[in-house]
Each structure stands twice: as C-alpha cells, then as structure tokens.
Amino acid sequence: MEEFHPGDEVSFNPDEASNSVKECIESIIGGEDYSQNKVNQWTANIVEHSLTQLVKQGKPYKYMVNCAVMQKSGAGLHTANSCYWDTATDGSCTVRWENRTMYCVVSVFAVAIAL
C-alpha cells in the first residue's frame, strides 16, 4: 500500500490528468485505423496505462477510468455522467480524441479517500 502524505494538497488536477490521458491514447492508437480484432486490447490498454499514470501521482484518491472507442460510420453517439460526491475534493475530466476512422472518449473520475 502506498504511503500518503497528509499535508499535501488534496485536490484533483483535471488538466494534468487530461494531458496524461491524451499521451496514453496517442501512444496506443495514435496511427491506427479501427480494427475489430484489436479494439478490445486497445481499450483495455488505454484504461490500464491511464490508471497507472494517475496512481503514480501518489495522491490519496480512488480512480475510475472509462474508455469508449467507436468506429466512424455516421452513427450518433451521446454520453452523459452524473456524480454524487464531495464537490470540494472530488473531480473528473473527459478527453475526446479522434482520427480518420474512429472516436475515442476517455473519462477519469477521482474520489478522495477520507484519511
């Protein structure tokens, strides 16, 4: 179990999380075209790598990372989320990415642990 340091700022930085998620997406599906065979390992890798980067920050948070990859074929897609938490300490960020053949939407939710 990692050591948490009381006295560090307990806040979620959505910009930092957003940047690290964008890097994960780029590194995994950056130059790829949508492939039904590979898409399940892509989504699994994106969520795992993003989660690892977030946990490395060492903050006293629980994280949920959600990733959706959709083929571009004219279909409509709409997502929404609603959260029941402590608005002072908890937060989320959503990253939308696309290339010629697919969309990728990653949402990160961070919930503070009461120490």
Partner 1 sequence: MDEFQTGSETAFVVEDVSRIVKESVEGVIGGSAYQHSRVSQWTSSVVEQSLSQLSKLGKPFKYIVTCIIMQKNGAGLQTASSCFWDNSTDGSCTVRWENNSMYCIVSVFGLAI
Please pick, from the candidates 21, 24, 50, 93, the single residue that binds partner 1 as defined by CB under 8 A: 50
Of 6-14, 15-23, 24-32, 83-91, the segment contacting partner 1 by CB under 8 A is 83-91
Please pick, from the candidates 17, 28, 90, 93, the single residue that binds partner 1 as defined by CB under 8 A: 90
d(CA 80, CA 27): 26
CB of 3 to partner 1, least distance (A): 15
96 binds partner 1 (CB under 8 A): no
CB of 4 to partner 1, least distance (A): 13
CA atoms within 13 A on the CB side of 32: 20
Annotate 42-76 with three-state secondary structure: HHHHHHHHHHHHHHHCCCCEEEEEEEEEEECCCCC
Of 10-18, 19-27, 32-40, the segment contacting partner 1 by CB under 8 A is 32-40
Sequence-ordered list of residues with C-beta below 8 angstroms from that of 17, at least 6 positions apart, any chain: 54, 93, 108, 110
Tokens (6 digits) for 108: 């990160």
- For partner 1, the binding residues (CB under 8 A) are 34, 36, 39-40, 42-44, 46-48, 50-51, 54-55, 61-86, 90, 92, 107, 109, 111, 114
